[in-house]
Structure 1
């Protein structure tokens, strides 16, 4: 089948996401919430695509199904409950745990089950499950921004689906036999280059669209568990359940050293000790307060008002532009990125130049120091401004 979108040579994951989001917005292929940028798109025809799940033999035989809480998977959640299967839904952004089991009230009819399958229903009719819960997941349903007929998948860039699966591997909830399904619009099926995939990327076995069921026959291994060397301390702080899992795997004798954990120095800040330099994957969201003589700062402006800092961080990671520190000023539609040397900062300016976020081309350039010999990180309006401001 001919694909609606073609990819240019040398594209990266972020280019692909942007192309899909732009196409869906331009052709009015999405339902609320809009715009679809930085989201798993809630596409028109999602319910019809989800209905195809009942034709998949592995779903018919499954007892426990884990489904993402995104809007386009709502019908899949209902169908799972209606078939009297156990439904697991991950907790939002993994803040309080891994997933919850949806428990409809006794004798619930279809209307109640429809309520249980909504985001509010997930909050009202669920029971949290811990890492020690004896759970066996037979089938996983995830959302995607783009997917290939070979099974390569690209999410929205925050890595939660990959993380959730890796955590389920670590707790013994999934095996090599566990089937992974994604539900997308036909335009989201693309020829994604395999070289863009990383070891931690989740692949899929079935693709459901409003018009067809695609069995990918994917043989690429799925994540084998948490790759601790790719996890930053910042991520650990944001996802507390990771700490519990790390402690458990440490007791089992596994290497759970975090990214650049061994060589992170410390510094004195206002009389207290703080981490001075974190891994390249660790982006700080608040201004620092120490001497920044050795950094070069990049100014990013014209950031769309709806952009969240977590989404912006994902963009930077995809572009290979992760800074030492990030000062986020979303209310002023701008951010300041600090890099270790001028050459790196100039490379980042080239990498981000022309980047389109949410339908707006961002403005990116080296910031200049207005205070001789030092860049001050308190009020940016007084310290760092774009070169032509």
Structure 2
């Protein structure tokens, strides 16, 4: 465990996440995107740490590898492509399915393979796979906020890695022989109390850091399928593939009773109550966004430049929706071929920068960067409020 990182008795998963995020920021251990709070942290030398997966014997014999889309796992995705493995990446927030298969073009250069390992590659070089695809994953690689040498893992709190694994079990894509690996900075390896883990929590078999390869020898069982009693109707609506798996298991006669009553029509407004995305933990209430500043301050506005002159504002708004980059206010300056996106705080703006990485419109690359305060002072033009 990194010197200076200690856990207090009775700490929660949320306490551990906050401590790790604060430590990485305070000690300048992070790469873009920053700040790392509420993310799987992208730490310095993450690419090199991820490429160390090629030294694992289990990697040599693997054919299909599922790697989460987190930024610090780019090195793993690149290693898989370089070794000619079948690379599967979960679809963003599971909205349109479970997997995308990354398919580099024939004769792909090293640079194209590098692009394929990034979020841009996931968008530009992937093919969606349905539930009926004959997928047999030999190796699963997940991001983590914290992990212990015993194999206990803590994610960022939304539960997607645990859910993805449970869904793979339900569709027969993994077995009890499937190996799970995570890639973290050395400071993220902590003595996590086992009592914080639930039946739905995914454990790991190997930990890759910039300085070590740790075999956990974890004997705790991994999830054996979807625990429907932790799934709400609201969650089913947000993740359509869950509904398909629910129908499949219902027809098999399994107990698929959901967390809320079938006729539940009241949505809870108590933001401190447990939810499926927080692994049963109470999370702090979300901060309500403030009104967007009108002067496009550097800290909370994103600039998009070099927009093709034929682009309409409706087209840009459609692209932003497809990438979950919803601004509080969009200022459109078509004559200057630019736009400004206002967000509630710098962290949100930085997250949008990551989502818009490699953006092109109609095949033309555009500039995406943090806005400079003076760039939009003159001639605001038509404002489009979301």
TM exceeding 0.5: yes
Q: Secondary structure at the match of 1:15?
A: helix
2:294 maps to 1:331: no
2:227 maps to 1:227: yes
> Following superposition of structure 1 onto structure 2, how do residues 114-193 of structure 1 map, counting pairs within 5 Å?
114-193=114-193
**Aligned CA distance change for structure 1 residues 148 and 316 (closer, same or farther; 3 Å):** closer
* Aligned counterpart, 1:319: 282
Q: Secondary structure at the match of 2:65?
A: strand
CA distance in 2, matches of 1:211, 1:185: 9
* Aligned counterpart, 1:66: 66
Q: Is the 8 A contact 2:2 2:189 kept in 1?
A: no
**Aligned CA distance change for structure 1 residues 48 and 316 (closer, same or farther; 3 Å):** closer
* Aligned counterpart, 1:12: 12
**Aligned CA distance change for structure 1 residues 167 and 188 (closer, same or farther; 3 Å):** same
Unaligned runs of 5+ in 1: 266-274, 285-296, 301-311, 334-356, 360-389
2:87 maps to 1:87: yes
Q: Is the 8 A contact 2:69 2:119 kept in 1?
A: yes
Question: What is the TM-score of this pair, normalised by structure 1?
Answer: 0.71
* Aligned counterpart, 1:217: 217
The alignment's C-alpha RMSD in Å is 2.5
Q: Secondary structure at the match of 1:199?
A: coil
CA distance in 2, matches of 1:2, 1:43: 14
**Aligned CA distance change for structure 1 residues 320 and 158 (closer, same or farther; 3 Å):** closer
Q: Is the 8 A contact 1:4 1:187 kept in 2?
A: no
CA distance in 2, matches of 1:327, 1:155: 18
* Aligned counterpart, 1:96: 96
CA distance in 2, matches of 1:54, 1:142: 16
2:160 maps to 1:201: no
> Following superposition of structure 1 onto structure 2, how do residues 266-281 of structure 1 map, counting pairs within 5 Å?
275-276=265-266
| Residue correspondences, number | 293
Q: Which moved more, 1:108-117 or 1:16-25?
A: 108-117
Superposed displacement of residue 47, structure 1 = 1.3
Superposed displacement of residue 110, structure 1 = 1.3
CA distance in 1, matches of 2:113, 2:85: 12
* Aligned counterpart, 1:253: 253
Q: Is the 8 A contact 1:37 1:358 kept in 2?
A: no
Question: What is the TM-score of this pair, normalised by structure 2?
Answer: 0.72
**Aligned CA distance change for structure 1 residues 241 and 315 (closer, same or farther; 3 Å):** closer
Kindly provide the CA deviation profile for residues 304-354 of structure 1, in whole angstroms up to 9, marking residues without a partner as x.
xxxxxxxx9967952277xxxx99732269xxxxxxxxxxxxxxxxxxxxx
**Aligned CA distance change for structure 1 residues 185 and 2 (closer, same or farther; 3 Å):** closer
